[in-house]
Amino acid sequence: MSETVEISVLTGLDQIAAAEWDACAAPEDGRPTDPFTTHRFLSALETSGSVGAGTGWAPRHLVARVGGQLLGVMPLYAKGHSQGEYIFDFNWAHAYERAGGQYYPKLQCAVPFTPATGRRFLLHPDAPDKVADLLAEGARELVRQNKLSSFHITFCTKDEWARGPEMGLMQRKSQQFHWVNAGFSGFDDYLAALSSRKRKNVRRERATAQAFGGEIIRLTGDQIQPEHWDYIWAFYQDTGSRKWGTPYLTRDFFDIAHATLRDDILLILAVKDGVPIAGALNFIGADTLYGRYWGCTEHHDCLHFEICYYQAIEAAIEMGLARVEAGAQGEHKLARGYLPVPCYSLHWIAEQRFAAAVQDFLVEEGEMVVAEIDYLSSHTPFAHKGDDNAGTD
């Protein structure tokens, strides 16, 4: 590249036009592949106060230009903690500080509170690949200039992960459970692919859930009304307070989501006597349905499985989507047809001796992740070829 690439730092998405950012983050015609790196999603987090001052997520987005032409962007944050990331480095932080260092703040390339795989080097379609290297070096320079401990890229794509060592970044593997659409024509077609015992279990769980005394509805776009967010907020508060203490998103985020994001959203609600008593918030990508938040104000057996997993599968089949990503953790998803898959992250630590120790750990951890995925993959609920009970009860 003969011309000089200028790397600059934005302390907020309001400092770049949405069309400019999305030319790199969402260049697809129609629905974006990744709804979470769009300007409208990331700016909703900032405008609502879910990230920014006092949250431990300080925006430091990188922008690469040549002669004013935008070549690439990177969603980047100075982090004062390791919460809301889902790729855990708490032990690294403790070891670093026991050795006399200060781990926080660190630099994090991620979508806040969102354990969904997507591009992190958001390059313009006309940009050369070299721009990714320049963005990575720009992030490292931010670490050096501000005397931060490290730079992390979480839930990147496999291709980005594979290029990581060329950019001087350490590779890490983790695991999630995703449902994959094998060309199913409907939910019954999906059921037919399961072993007889698992198929009966799914039918039993669905029947139990649907006997809660109401109906289950799906809403998207203009079907979503402002009052629905009052219920989603109540569900989110309940789950957040039980699982991680203080919920990450503010109430304003949901009002902004109604105004700017509802075409990207699928709500699945259990409604009883006209009142939603449980629900799940999903985001819709070009080929993936992303399950994000679930909650309830009444407990009913199997309703969580129905709303979060089976309804999501059914919706994905109807929309012709390739997969459902149901978020972090949960081996219980395996029995419901969600398969173990690797997810990827990249890391750079300024202190070389500590980085060497982390690299040794990552090699051992990666081997264990691969072994676990192999083991779990041999215990899926799908009927194996030649099974007598495939397709029958």
- Residues 174-192 have pLDDT tens digits of 999 999 999 999 999 999 9
- Same domain (yes/no): 46, 145: yes
d(Cα 332, Cα 290) in Å, to the nearest integer?
17
Q: How far is the C-alpha of 279 from the C-alpha of 327, rounded, in Å?
A: 15
Please report, rounded to a whole number, the percentage of residues in the chain having pLDDT higher than 90.
Answer: 90
My answer on whether 59 and 142 are in the same domain is yes
CATH code of the domain in which 152 resides: 3.40.630.30
User: Are 155 and 231 found together in one domain?
Assistant: no
Same domain? 77 vs 161: yes
Residues 17 and 147 in one domain: yes
Could you please report the per-residue DSSP string of 312-381?
A: HHHHHHHHT-SEEE--S--GGGGGGTPEEEEEEEEEEESSHHHHHHHHHHHHHHHHHHHHHHHHHHTT-S
| pLDDT the model gives residue 388 | 45
Looking at the fold, whether 278 and 356 belong to one and the same domain comes out as: no
Q: Is the pLDDT of residue 109 over 70?
A: yes
Q: What is the pLDDT of residue 393?
A: 59
Structure tokens at 72: 């690439």
Instruction: Tell whether 194 and 332 lie within a shared domain.
Output: yes
Q: What are phi and psi of 102, to 5 degrees?
A: -120, 105
Q: How many domains does the chain have?
A: 2
Domain shared by 333 and 184, yes or no: yes
Closest by alpha carbon to 52, among 44, 167, 82, 158?
A: 44
* DSSP H/E element including 142: helix 130-145
Instruction: Check whether 274 has a pLDDT greater than 80.
Output: yes
pLDDT greater than 90 at residue 263: yes
Residue 330 pLDDT class (50, 70, 90 cuts): confident
Q: Which residues, 6+ apart, have CB-to-CB distance to 318 below 8 Å?
A: none
Per-residue model confidence as pLDDT tens digits over 61-98: 999 999 989 999 999 999 999 999 999 999 999 999 99
Question: What single-letter DSSP state applies at residue 54?
Answer: T
Specify if 78 maps to a domain.
yes
What domain range includes position 227?
A: 178-340
Whole-number pLDDT of residue 386: 52
Co-location of 46 and 147 in the same domain: yes
Neighbour order of strands in the sheet with 61-66: 6-10, 61-66, 69-74, 122-123
Query: What is the per-residue pLDDT for 385?
Result: 57
- The reply to whether 81 falls in a domain is yes
If pLDDT is split at 50, 70 and 90, which confidence band does 48 have?
Answer: very high
